[in-house]
């Protein structure tokens, strides 16, 4: 840790000086300068939260002003909520005694990598392939507007991030294209290519590019952006049918 | 138990909670006239009991939680009936009452909620008068200072626990000003190594502060152990009992455990070496259990022929090297080492073919190993982590020194290859279907050349990574972090396989067993847990430390686990049944490094006080003290044959110590084994073989390669 240059007494605000003194009293001599700022911010936020809670309690008790009891109650409630402390010793000794009574389980030989049941591992794929066969036959060759659709939220929340893109080409038969899109608990953006309808006889292979999260790295909730290029060669687009298809998509998802 | 039950009944009667009293009486089947003799304990335990009884309704579960909220204490009567009935009916009642008793009898002497205290209790009250605490303490101080020299050192041990307990009582009973003046007056008298604790104490000025501090609560409820010789003890007892006010005697009886031994009183030096932990020293019975410190027999191989040919061609083979190899491998002697555990004491994974190949490599390397000693010191190769911005928090190196892993404060785990061979991961499923499965080098073909690199970064944790450990077969990597989880990573696909959730608080250290499959982790919740890779819950929980478990290590025979803690003790636990078989006290700061000697007999420990202590596991004694470092010792390692002990510290040095000489002459006569006292010679200077300084890089990890080259690692810190 770099040696701290304490703010010179002339320029530092009083609070900062007090905080520096507190750190000194607790025996902390080396710290980065922004520690004081962080401590002050924490102190301010904590005190504000407690006082706000105390105001609520005192008004609930129909008191005219906030008194020490309210503050004490507020502190106690917040402590139970935010600052949990580890379980007490007797509880730990108790569960330790229970756990230590069971004998060590025998090890089965030649069982490959020894991992817990799949439910408890992070090795499962966290995506599911869903075919859109029905939809495609009615939407083939249409010009559709790119749209964002949101799927169901998965049960295990975690911060969604983007992983490394891996291009996958899915070749599809001519007429009845069945582009696979990955649905489920993620954002799917379908950006079909705007191709003039009924143009080329040759089937083009739509490319589905999936931006996949490496399932092993992060939690289960993913953002997948799929670009779905609908193959041409189907009925001519008409505005009515296009609307129908959009509704279809909504229903499907 | 009985007394506290009686006390509760008395309290209930006073509070007019007839129904509860009847229920309890019926349960305990006590008669009304038994209550006569135990009036003294009533008032003292009543506030404690009221507090405890009032707490459960809020929480819903009847846990022996010593935390008392001020609001619940305010209204014991109102909530008395429903919760008393409920709490009395529940099973951990006796535990709660015991706790309340222990907690309250020594503590809540001044009864403020009970103004109708009888005359009998008034005398009790006076003894607990807060303003007199200072007088009691200075009286005792005076007595001890006037006692004979030989007794004074031992009796001075009383100062610290008494001081802390009296201060905590004053705080608990909300005599803030008296507590403050008591602290001011006497805190300077305490030993220097308690200063950190005293600083924490000085910040505890109100009862509410004590509630969240688990360490202080544990300190109050556990007994501080003192070892005093019989003569000194008699002296003390006589003095305390002949005085009128027995307050100190009460505290001594309540909170201190005096382990009396027959023999000469100890000198100050001996005492100083052993004290320092948060709970005093260890009781002698704590260190008497039998410990199997021997090594497990290595399985025999059919391969020795190759080795012998190799050795014949080997130019550097000295005659001395043949012997260790013969002893280890294929030893024909069938007799069991009496100190070694039976092979099947704990289930261990079987040896796979790859493991056998590994062992053969190990033996070949061992044959070429440099024999270290005072004349032949190892070369040290230092791996400096540059641009780590002080974020390097954990390092580990594989046994064959092929990979090095760093855990960082930005929650990443980075694996580097030390050898020119790059790190390769297995191909994806699509590519794997294309390879020829019948070819001879299929194991190379499954590896993906395109993504081979020197460095692989593993993401997954959500907090700084505080501990890392490679598995012995180099297939897995463990990492533990501040987010409370321990993650298992595969080194073949470089992805995370499992997250073990058990600690809900930062996990400070983790280590794989020397045979793989098991691993241990220790964290802020004051326990260490033993896991197996295929169980999502821990197999064993080692509870007993008073503060965070900062360091965990397996014994070479995988049957014991050593844990070092912030309460300044080291405990040795038995994997089979979770019992604590050894407690070692003596360090004056949290322990950050542990190392078992390769023969399994000795343990070396390093802490923030800059000393390395050496312990004999079999006898449970301290056998050596190595002074020299000036800052925390974060790395300790014995050389492959146990001749040299290397220690690395925050003071940017690596020091080499002569381990053979340190363990050489141990006086283990009956007296020392019985009492656990040993006169440590001041020979640190003789044992120090070399000090090697780095350029402002604290040493975080040490590793001896199979050929006894010392590798060290640390992050460059620029000042």
pLDDT > 70: percent of chain A: 49
Residues of B in contact with A2 (CB under 8 A): 719
Q: Indicate whether this complex's ipTM tops 0.90.
A: no
Q: Is the pLDDT of residue B312 over 60?
A: no
Taking the Cβ of residue B475 and every Cβ of chain A, the question of whether any pair is shorter than 8 Å is answered with: yes
Beta sheet of A226-228, edge-to-edge order = A166-169, A207-210, A226-228
Rounded CA gap, B620 and B583, in Å?
A: 8
- Looking at per-residue pLDDT, the higher value among B363 and B99 belongs to B363
Q: What is the model's pLDDT at position B629?
A: 94
CA A12 and chain centroid, separation: 40
Mention the CATH class of domain B129-281. Answer: mainly alpha
Mean pLDDT over each residue of chain A, to the nearest integer = 66
Among residues B574, B607, B577, B573, the alpha carbon closest in space to that of B589 is found at B607
Distance CA B70, CA B113 (A): 13
pLDDT at A233: 41
In a domain, A63, yes or no: yes
Contact A72 B526 (CB under 8 A): no
pLDDT digit string, tens, across residues B426-451: 888 888 888 887 888 888 888 888 88
Residue B61's pLDDT is what? 30
Any bridge partners for residue B543, and if so which? B527
Of B71, B95, B534, the CB nearest to A90: B95
Whether A97 is in a domain gets the answer: yes
What is the percent of chain B with per-residue pLDDT over 90, rounded to a whole number?
A: 36
Q: Check CB contact under 8 Å for B539 and A75.
A: no
| CB distance B275 to B266 below 8 Å | no
Q: Is the pLDDT of residue B557 over 60?
A: yes
Interchain contact, B527 vs A96, CB within 8 Å = yes
Q: Residue B31 pLDDT more than 80?
A: no
Nearest CA in chain B to A86: B525
Please answer whether residues B161 and B280 qualify as being in contact, where contact means their C-beta atoms are separated by less than 8 angstroms: yes
Please check the confidence at residue B563 and state whether its pLDDT lies above 90: yes
Between these two residues, B689 and B297, which has the higher pLDDT value?
A: B689
Cα A31 to chain centroid, rounded: 33
Is residue A250 over pLDDT 50?
no
Q: What is the mean pLDDT of residues A39-57?
A: 94
* pLDDT greater than 80 at residue A169: no
What pLDDT is attached to residue B672? 56
Residues 6+ apart with CB under 8 A from B326: none
Sequence-distant (≥ 6) Cβ neighbours of residue B462 within 8 angstroms: B411, B481, B483
> Nearest residue on chain A to B214, judged by CA atoms?
A88
B64:A88 CB<8 A: yes
Considering only the beta carbons, identify the residue of B63, B211, B577 that sits closest to A91: B63
Partner-chain contact A121 B525, CB within 8 Å: no
CATH number reported for the structural domain that contains residue A46 in this entry: 1.10.20.10
Contacts A–B by Cβ distance under 8 A: 139
Q: Could you read off the pLDDT of A65-79 as tens digits, one per residue?
A: 999 999 999 998 888
User: Both tokens of residue B398?
Assistant: 């594989």
CATH 2.130.10.10 fits B380-396+463-666+683-711, yes or no: yes
> Worst-scoring range by mean pLDDT, A80-84, A193-197, B482-486?
A193-197
- How is residue B203 written in tokens? 């910040």
A117-131, A203-217, B260-274: which has the highest mean pLDDT?
A117-131
Q: Parallel, antiparallel, or unpaired: how do β-strands B644-649 and B653-658 relate?
A: antiparallel
Residue B570's closest CA among B596, B597, B600? B596
- Starting at the earlier edge strand, list the strands of the sheet with B549-554: B549-554, B560-565, B569-574, B580-585
- The lowest-confidence range among B38-47, B62-71, B219-228 is B62-71
Average pLDDT over residues B511-529: 95
B215 touches chain A (CB under 8 A): no
Work out the minimum CA distance from B218 to partner chain A, whole angstroms: 7
Q: Would residue A202 count as lying in a domain? A: no
Residues 83..102 of B with a Cβ closer than 8 Å to A: which? 95, 99
**Residue B24 confidence (pLDDT):** 73
Identify the sign of the CA torsion B116, B122, B126, B127.
negative
pLDDT grade for B596, boundaries at 50, 70 and 90: very high
Asked if B517 and A87 come within 8 Å (Cβ–Cβ), the reply is no
Domain extent at residue A28: 14-101
Return the closest-CA partner of residue A249 out of A188, A207, A208, A176: A188
Asked if B57 contacts B86 with a C-beta cutoff of 8 angstroms, the reply is yes
Domain ranges for chain B: 129-281, 380-396+463-666+683-711
Distance CA A199, CA A187 (A): 31
Region B111-119 average pLDDT: 32
Both tokens of B538, joined, read: 């821990």
In a domain, A47, yes or no: yes
pLDDT surpasses 50 at A90: yes
**A25 in a structural domain:** yes
Alpha-carbon distance of A199 to A233, in angstroms, equals 6
* pTM attached to this predicted model: 0.70
Average pLDDT, chain B: 78
Q: At what angle do helices B80-89 and B2-14 cross, to 10 degrees?
A: 160
CB nearest to B460's CB, from A90, A114, A217: A217
Q: Does residue B322 register a pLDDT over 80?
A: no
- Give A86's contacts in chain B (Cβ within 8 Å): 214, 504-505, 524-526
Minimal Cα distance from B202: which residue of A? A26
pLDDT at position B318 is: 39
Determine the residue of chain A that is closest to B529 in CA distance: A96
Res B535 pLDDT > 80: yes
| Of the partner residues A2, A85, A92, the one whose CB lies closest to the CB of residue B212 | A85
Position A218 scores a pLDDT of 44
Split into its structural domains, chain A has a count of 1
Question: Which of A2, A107, A217 lies at the smallest CB-CB distance from B495?
Answer: A217
Is A92 part of any domain? yes
Bridge partner list, B495: B490
Residues in B touching A23 (Cβ below 8 Å): none
| B519 close to B474: Cβ distance less than 8 angstroms | no
How many residues are there in chain B? 719
Q: Which of A104, A110, A114 to mutate to test the interface with B (most CBs of B within 10 A)?
A: A104
Cα separation, B261 vs B230, in Å, equals 6
Q: Which helix (H) or strand (E) holds A73?
A: helix A68-81
Q: Do B536 and A75 touch (CB under 8 A)?
A: no
Q: What pLDDT digit, counting tens, does each position of B191-241 carry?
A: 888 888 888 888 888 877 777 777 777 787 788 888 888 888 888 888 887
In which residue are the tokens 């925390």 written?
B632
At residue A245, the pLDDT reads 46
Residues of B in contact with A106 (CB under 8 A): 347
Q: pLDDT at position B244, please?
A: 60
- For the stretch B320-327, contacts whose Cβ atoms lie closer than 8 Å and that sit 24 or more positions apart, written own/partner, are B320/B371, B321/B367, B321/B369, B321/B371, B324/B366, B324/B641, B325/B363, B325/B366, B325/B367
Q: Quick one: residue B643, left, alpha or beta (phi over 0 = left, psi -120 to 50 = alpha)?
A: alpha
Distance (Å) from the alpha carbon of B205 to chain A's nearest alpha carbon = 14
d(CA B682, CA B628): 12
- Higher local confidence (pLDDT), B299 or B232: B232
Q: Write out the two tokens for B239.
A: 């003095």
Q: Is B400 helix (H, G, I), strand (E, B) or coil?
A: coil
Identify whether A82 is part of a domain: yes
């Amino acid at each position: 840790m770099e040696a701290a240059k304490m703010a010179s007494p002339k320029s530092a605000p009083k609070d900062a000086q007090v905080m520096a003194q507190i750190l000194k009293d607790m025996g902390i001599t080396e710290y980065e300068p922004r520690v004081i700022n962080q401590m002050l911010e924490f102190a301010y936020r904590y005190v504000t939260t407690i006082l706000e809670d105390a105001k609520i309690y005192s008004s609930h008790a129909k008191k005219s002003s906030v008194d020490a009891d309210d503050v004490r109650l507020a502190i106690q409630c917040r402590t139970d909520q935010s600052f949990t402390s580890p379980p007490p010793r007797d509880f730990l000794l108790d569960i330790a005694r229970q756990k230590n009574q069971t004998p060590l389980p025998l090890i089965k030989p030649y069982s490959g990598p020894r991992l817990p049941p799949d439910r408890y591992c992070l090795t499962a794929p966290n995506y599911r392939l869903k075919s859109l066969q029905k939809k495609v036959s009615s939407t083939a060759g249409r010009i559709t507007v790119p749209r964002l659709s949101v799927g169901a939220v998965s049960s295990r929340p975690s911060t969604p991030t983007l992983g490394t893109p891996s291009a996958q080409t899915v070749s599809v038969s001519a007429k009845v294209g069945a582009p696979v899109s990955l649905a489920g608990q993620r954002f799917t953006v379908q950006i079909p290519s705007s191709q003039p309808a009924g143009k080329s006889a040759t089937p083009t292979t739509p490319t589905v590019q999936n931006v996949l999260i490496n399932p092993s790295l992060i939690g289960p909730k993913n953002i997948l952006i799929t670009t779905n290029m609908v193959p041409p060669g189907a009925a001519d687009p008409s505005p009515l049918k296009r609307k129908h298809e959009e509704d279809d998509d909504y229903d499907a998802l | 138990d009985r007394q506290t039950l009686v006390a509760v009944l008395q309290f209930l009667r006073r509070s007019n909670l007839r129904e509860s009293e009847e229920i309890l009486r019926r349960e305990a089947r006590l008669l009304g006239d038994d209550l006569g003799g135990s009036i003294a304990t009533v008032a003292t335990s009543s506030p404690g009991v009221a507090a405890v009884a009032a707490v459960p309704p809020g929480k819903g579960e009847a846990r022996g939680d010593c935390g008392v909220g001020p609001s619940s204490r305010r209204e014991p009567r109102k909530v008395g009936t429903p919760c008393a009935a409920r709490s009395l009916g529940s099973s951990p009642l006796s535990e709660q009452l015991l706790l309340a008793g222990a907690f309250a009898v020594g503590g809540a002497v001044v009864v403020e909620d009970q103004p109708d205290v009888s005359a009998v209790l008034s005398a009790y009250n006076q003894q607990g008068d807060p303003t007199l605490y200072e007088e009691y303490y200075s009286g005792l101080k005076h007595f001890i200072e006037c006692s004979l020299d030989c007794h004074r050192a031992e009796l001075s041990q009383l100062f610290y626990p008494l001081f802390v307990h009296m201060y905590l009582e004053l705080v608990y009973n909300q005599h803030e000003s008296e507590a403050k003046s008591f602290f001011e007056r006497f805190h300077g008298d305490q030993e220097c190594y308690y200063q950190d604790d005293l600083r924490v104490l000085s910040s505890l000025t109100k009862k509410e502060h004590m509630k969240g501090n688990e360490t202080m609560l544990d300190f109050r409820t556990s007994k501080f152990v003192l070892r005093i010789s019989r003569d000194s003890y008699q002296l003390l007892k006589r003095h305390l009992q002949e005085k009128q006010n027995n307050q100190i005697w009460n505290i001594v009886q309540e909170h201190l455990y005096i382990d009396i031994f027959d023999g000469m009183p100890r000198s100050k030096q001996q005492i100083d070496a052993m004290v320092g932990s948060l709970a005093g020293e260890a009781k002698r019975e704590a260190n008497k259990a039998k410990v199997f410190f021997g090594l497990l027999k290595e399985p025999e191989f059919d391969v020795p022929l190759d080795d012998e040919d190799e050795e014949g061609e080997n130019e550097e083979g000295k005659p001395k090297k043949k012997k260790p190899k013969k002893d280890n491998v294929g030893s024909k002697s069938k007799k069991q080492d009496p100190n070694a555990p039976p092979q099947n004491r704990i289930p261990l994974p079987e040896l796979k073919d790859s493991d056998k190949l590994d062992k053969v490599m190990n033996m070949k390397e061992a044959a070429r190993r440099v024999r270290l000693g005072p004349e032949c010191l190892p070369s040290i190769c230092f791996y400096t982590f540059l641009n780590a911005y002080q974020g390097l928090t954990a390092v580990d190196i594989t046994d064959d020194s092929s990979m090095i892993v760093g855990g960082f404060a930005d929650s990443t785990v980075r694996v580097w290859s030390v050898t020119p061979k790059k790190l390769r991961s297995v191909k994806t499923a699509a590519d794997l279907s294309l390879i020829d499965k019948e070819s001879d080098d299929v194991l190379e073909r499954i590896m993906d050349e395109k993504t081979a690199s020197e460095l692989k970064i593993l993401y997954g944790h959500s907090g700084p990574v505080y501990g890392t450990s490679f598995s012995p077969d180099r297939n897995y990597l463990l990492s533990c972090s501040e987010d409370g989880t321990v993650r298992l990573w595969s080194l073949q696909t470089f992805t995370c396989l499992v997250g073990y959730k058990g600690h809900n608080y930062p996990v400070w250290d983790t280590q794989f067993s020397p045979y793989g499959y098991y691993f241990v982790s220790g964290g802020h919740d004051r326990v260490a847990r033993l896991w197996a890779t295929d169980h999502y819950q821990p197999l064993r929980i080692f509870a007993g430390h008073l503060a965070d478990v900062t360091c965990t290590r397996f014994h070479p025979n995988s049957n014991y686990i050593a844990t070092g803690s912030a309460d300044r003790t080291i405990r040795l636990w038995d994997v089979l049944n979770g019992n604590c078989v050894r407690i070692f006290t003596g360090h004056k700061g949290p322990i950050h490094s542990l190392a078992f000697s390769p023969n399994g007999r000795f343990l070396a420990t390093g802490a923030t006080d800059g000393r390395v202590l050496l312990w004999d596991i079999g006898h449970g004694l301290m056998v050596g003290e190595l002074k020299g470092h000036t800052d925390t010792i974060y790395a300790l390692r014995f050389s492959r044959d146990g001749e040299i002990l290397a220690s690395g510290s925050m003071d940017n040095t690596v020091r080499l110590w002569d381990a053979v000489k340190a363990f050489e002459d141990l006086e283990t006569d009956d007296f020392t084994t019985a009492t656990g006292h040993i006169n440590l010679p001041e020979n640190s200077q003789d044992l120090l073989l070399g000090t090697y300084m780095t350029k402002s890089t604290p040493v975080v990890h040490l590793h001896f390669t199979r050929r006894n080259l010392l590798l060290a690692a640390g992050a460059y810190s620029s000042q």
